[in-house]
Amino acid sequence: MSEQTEHVSCLIIGSGPAGYTAAIYAARAELKPVMYQGLQPGGQLTITTEVENFPGYPEGVQGPEMMVQLQQQAERFGTQVRYGLATKVDFTGPVHKVWIDDEKLITADTVIVSTGASAKWLGLPSEQRLNGFGVSACAVCDGFFYRGQDVAIVGAGDTAAEEATYLAKLCTKVYMLVRKSEMKASKAMQTRVLNTPNIEVLFDTETDEVIGEKTVEAVRVKNSKTGTMRDLKVTGFFVAIGHEPNTGIFKGWLDMDETGYLKVVPGTTKTNIPGVFAAGDCADKVYRQAVTAAGTGCMAALDAERYLAAKGH
């Protein structure tokens, strides 16, 4: 089978708020961007129900609906949005090579990487079934819906500790479920958690089951030392055991930290390869919000436009 090849000026890999915003800006700058949506068209927001913290939606918006609107806006200015997964790259030359679904080769003058990150889950069927109906991987996004209620959060690192203290400001009671007999979080964060009166830290505790028909009603936990089970009456269950950036195919090409987040020149979206830019959660392990991802998508398109202009395109 002969390989299909196509050349584009600006290739966008990934389709969350970062990718779509990059597409809107790149299309308006006449870069004729081509976007491949990846495994999860619309990104993490498609598994979110209500989004209330994105500016411009006073009544809030459903995550999937917002992604459809962003796609329509990108297409309105001429972005070609396509199904397909980038499976391999070769960034040796001035023209960048990206293979889609192992069969089609795209050569591109500029590449915007907006492949996002995926939340790590515990792997319980009940957790997946109730995802978006009481189960969440983002306390900052969803904590607001649990004001005055009791919730549980699982995790032991700085993010979990930070999210637990955030939830404690909104919720009546926060159970923090820690698998081992100590937290991994920094001493300062641990002190903050232990000094917050409405957070109860349960050490040596594993999640056995999330209970509820249509929404979360309780979480069944097991003490790993004694083997005893108990049900915690909660309406929200937050998973804060980390995120994994979707950057595997760029290993060996783009500089990344030890966990796989892409490194960019501070204040820009430039990677170590000229003409390749990174936006959104694949390069951001600190904020991880739709609005910050959109902001870096805008930056990436402007960086790509300036790069092409300097090359005389």
Report residue 182: phi and psi, to 5°. -150, 165
Q: Any catalytic annotation for residue 303?
A: no
pLDDT, position 205: 98
| 121-239: CATH topology | FAD/NAD(P)-binding domain (3.50.50)
With a cut of 70, list the residues of the chain below it in pLDDT.
Answer: 1-2
Measured between alpha carbons, how far is residue 171 from residues 134, 148, 154, 158, 177 in Å?
Answer: 14, 5, 16, 19, 16
Fold agreement (4-118+243-310, 121-239)? yes
* Chain centre distance of CA 89: 22
Which of 10, 109, 142, 303 is catalytic? The answer is 142
Give the span between the Cα atoms of 227 and 203, in whole angstroms. 13
Which of 10, 109, 138, 171 is catalytic? The answer is 138
Which of 10, 109, 141, 171 is catalytic? The answer is 141
Radius of gyration of the chain (CA): 21
Q: Any catalytic annotation for residue 90?
A: no
CA angle 220, 223, 226 (to 5 degrees): 135
The residue whose two tokens read 């960034």 is: 91
Q: Any catalytic annotation for residue 298?
A: no
Are 16 and 43 a contacting pair, CB within 8 Å?
yes
- Max Cα separation, the chain? 69
CATH number for the segment(s) 4-118+243-310 = 3.50.50.60
pLDDT, position 1: 41
Domain ranges of the chain: 4-118+243-310, 121-239
pTM of the model: 0.83
- DSSP strand E in 101-193: where? 104-113, 117-119, 135-136, 150-154, 173-177
